[in-house]
């Protein structure tokens, strides 16, 4: 497809340019009044709900990926590739768990991401701690239908976080900037 | 009055190495009414698809193989190097720490959407880039949407932009311009 010709308006100031590009998205603004019976967000949510029958299977696939990455670390050690594979699998679960209907798994996956990301030397990460994270994710999913599953998940996640923070704070004891990041809250607003 | 967007008039490019997440995004975009949704599974094929399909809005994951979403944004924001360095980029990511958000902003990302995603969150980001586009700023070290989303009356400190008008730049939303009589 041939790109349209660019016609940006440029104003030059002392050490910068202010550029107002041609607004190509203007074509999508609609004059139609908002119809509460045709809410696009509600439509998208319905479409997602229709897809939700797939989510449990997808979550299982993501857990298998995490498990395989754990096995690679155990076999090959914390090589760069193995570390990246494990981080990526945990990171995807952290981002997807709530969408797939398993929000309680996100905290354990997040804790594993923090463990890998903030450990100055990954080879010092106890394999047992990695095992505990992966097994926790698995256990929470397996027991999700139990009446006290949420309570158990909260306890497991809390304990994992405590143990992980203890390890990370010790390993980063001479890196105050990293400690600040470890303990700092997210600044992304709630949606 | 709520802004109405005709999604059928927008072309989307979704770049995410996770097939499940691509399916979720495609489902949401089709739910909004979009018809043209293209996909790529890593930064390299995403850049190729960006050049080929000329999308209106790029929705990219951060963590991807070959090169990641941040590097992709930096490659797109190269004036003169491609057909649309001004394209709207929505960065979708599980990273939500301050340093990550700042890095995305400094790479020229237009909007940031933290996972888990919701239909409402994605819709709001898209409405924002369509109805309230920001001007671009080009300096020796930055090219991308104006990183000053507002003028803070409480700001204390030197004006970092030289040229006198930097502290009075305001932009009315495109929607207001469209609505303005005459």
Tell me which chain A residues have a C-beta less than 8 angstroms from the C-beta of B76.
Answer: none
- For chain A, give the mean pLDDT: 89
pTM: 0.85
B71 in Cβ contact with B106 (< 8 Å): no
Is residue B3 less than 8 Å (CB to CB) from chain A? yes
Which CATH number is correct for B7-179, 3.40.50.2300, 3.40.718.10, 3.30.930.10, 3.30.56.10? 3.40.50.2300
Of A3, A28, A41, the CB nearest to B130: A28
Tell me which chain B residues have a C-beta less than 8 angstroms from the C-beta of A3.
Answer: 54, 83-84
pLDDT at A163 over 60: yes
Of B53, B114, B161, the CB nearest to A1: B53
- Angle between helical axes of A176-183 and A149-171 (0-180°, round to 10): 170
Taking every pair of C-alpha atoms in chain A, what is the biggest distance, in angstroms? 65
pLDDT bracket for residue B152 (50, 70, 90): low
Interface of B with A in 49-88 (CB under 8 A): 52-54, 56-57, 63, 83-84, 86, 88
In chain A, domain spans: 55-183
What CA–CA distance (Å, rounded) separates A114 from B132?
35
Backbone angles phi, psi at A80, to 5 degrees: -60, -45
Q: Taking residues A32-49, what's their average pLDDT?
A: 89
Tell me which chain A residues have a C-beta less than 8 angstroms from the C-beta of B30.
Answer: 47
Query: Which residues have C-beta within 8 Å of that of residue B32, sequence separation ≥ 6?
Result: A40, A41, A43, A44, B5, B7, B119, B123, B126
Nearest CA in chain B to A55: B20
Nearest CA in chain B to A45: B119
pLDDT at B179 over 50: no
CA distances from B83 to A6, A27, B50, B78, B106 (A): 8, 19, 9, 10, 21
pLDDT digits (tens, 9 = 90+) for A93-135: 999 999 999 998 999 999 999 999 999 999 999 999 999 999 9
pLDDT bracket for residue B174 (50, 70, 90): very low
- Supply A42's token pair: 């509600």
Q: Taking residues A143-151, what's their average pLDDT?
A: 84
Interface of B with A in 110-139 (CB under 8 A): 112-124, 129-131, 133, 135-139
Sign, CA dihedral A51-A56-A61-A67, equals: positive
Give the whole-number percent of chain A exceeding pLDDT 90.
66
Residue contact B23–A51, C-beta within 8 A? yes
Nearest CA in chain A to B161: A15
pLDDT digits (tens, 9 = 90+) for B127-151: 999 998 888 888 888 889 988 766 6
B51 in Cβ contact with B82 (< 8 Å): yes
Residue contact B135–A96, C-beta within 8 A? no
pLDDT digits (tens, 9 = 90+) for B53-102: 999 999 999 988 888 999 999 999 987 778 889 999 999 988 767 778 88
Closest CA to A48 of B20, B40, B113: B20
Give the whole-number percent of chain B exceeding pLDDT 70.
80
CA distance A75 to chain B (A): 22
- For chain B, give the mean pLDDT: 84
pLDDT at A186 over 60: no
For residue A56, how far is the Cα from the chain centroid? Answer: 18
Q: Name the DSSP letter for residue A105.
A: H
Among the ranges given (A2-16, A54-68, B134-148), the one the predictor scored with the smallest mean pLDDT: A2-16
Residue contact A33–B24, C-beta within 8 A? no
Q: Taking residues A5-18, what's their average pLDDT?
A: 78
CB-defined contacts A:B, below 8 A = 189
DSSP 3-state of A146 = coil
H-type alpha helices, B94-182: 98-106, 119-131, 174-179
Which CATH number is correct for A55-183, 3.30.1460, 1.20.140, 1.10.3470, 1.20.120? 1.20.120
Q: Taking residues B7-30, what's their average pLDDT?
A: 97
pLDDT at B170 over 60: no
Write the ipTM.
Answer: 0.86
Among the ranges given (A21-25, A136-140, B45-49, B155-159), the one the predictor scored with the smallest mean pLDDT: B155-159
Higher pLDDT pick, A190 / B79: B79
Q: Name the DSSP letter for residue B151.
A: -
Of A34, A48, A181, the CB nearest to B31: A48
Beta strands in A26-159 (DSSP E): 29-30
A168 in Cβ contact with A114 (< 8 Å): yes
Give the whole-number percent of chain A exceeding pLDDT 70.
93
A64: how many CB neighbours lie within 10 A of its CB?
Answer: 12
């Amino acid at each position: 497809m041939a790109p349209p010709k660019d016609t940006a308006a440029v104003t030059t100031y002392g050490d910068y340019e202010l550029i107002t590009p041609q607004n190509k998205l203007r074509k999508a603004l609609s004059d139609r009044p908002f119809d509460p019976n045709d809410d696009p967000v509600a439509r998208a949510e319905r479409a997602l709900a229709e897809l939700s029958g797939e989510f449990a299977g997808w979550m299982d696939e993501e857990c298998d990926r995490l498990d395989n990455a754990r096995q690679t670390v155990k076999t090959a050690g914390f090589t760069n590739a193995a570390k990246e594979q494990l981080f990526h699998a945990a990171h995807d679960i952290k981002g997807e768990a709530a969408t797939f209907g398993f929000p309680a798994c996100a905290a354990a996956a997040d804790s594993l991401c923090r463990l890998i990301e903030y450990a100055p030397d990954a080879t010092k990460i106890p394999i047992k701690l990695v095992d505990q994270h992966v097994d926790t994710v698995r256990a929470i999913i397996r027991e999700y239908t139990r009446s006290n599953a949420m309570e158990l998940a909260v306890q497991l996640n809390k304990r994992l976080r405590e143990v992980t923070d203890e390890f990370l704070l010790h390993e980063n004891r001479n890196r105050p900037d990293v400690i600040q990041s470890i303990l700092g809250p997210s600044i992304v607003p709630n949606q | 009055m709520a802004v109405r967007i005709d999604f059928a008039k927008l072309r989307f490019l979704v770049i995410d190495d996770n097939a499940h997440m691509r399916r979720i995004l495609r489902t949401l975009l089709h739910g909004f009414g979009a018809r043209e949704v293209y996909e790529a599974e890593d930064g390299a094929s995403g850049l190729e698809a960006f050049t080929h399909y000329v999308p209106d809005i790029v929705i990219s994951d951060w963590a991807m193989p070959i090169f990641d979403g941040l590097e992709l944004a930096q490659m797109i924001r190269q004036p003169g190097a491609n057909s649309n360095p001004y394209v709207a980029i929505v960065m979708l990511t599980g990273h939500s720490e301050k340093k990550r958000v700042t890095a995305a902003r400094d790479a020229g990302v237009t909007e940031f959407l933290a996972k888990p995603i919701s239909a409402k969150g994605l819709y709001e980001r898209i409405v924002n880039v369509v109805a309230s586009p920001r001007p671009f700023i080009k300096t020796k070290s930055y090219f991308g949407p104006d990183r000053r989303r507002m003028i803070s009356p409480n700001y204390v400190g030197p004006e970092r932009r030289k040229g006198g008008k930097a502290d009075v730049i305001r932009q009315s939303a495109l929607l207001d311009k469209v609505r303005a009589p005459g």
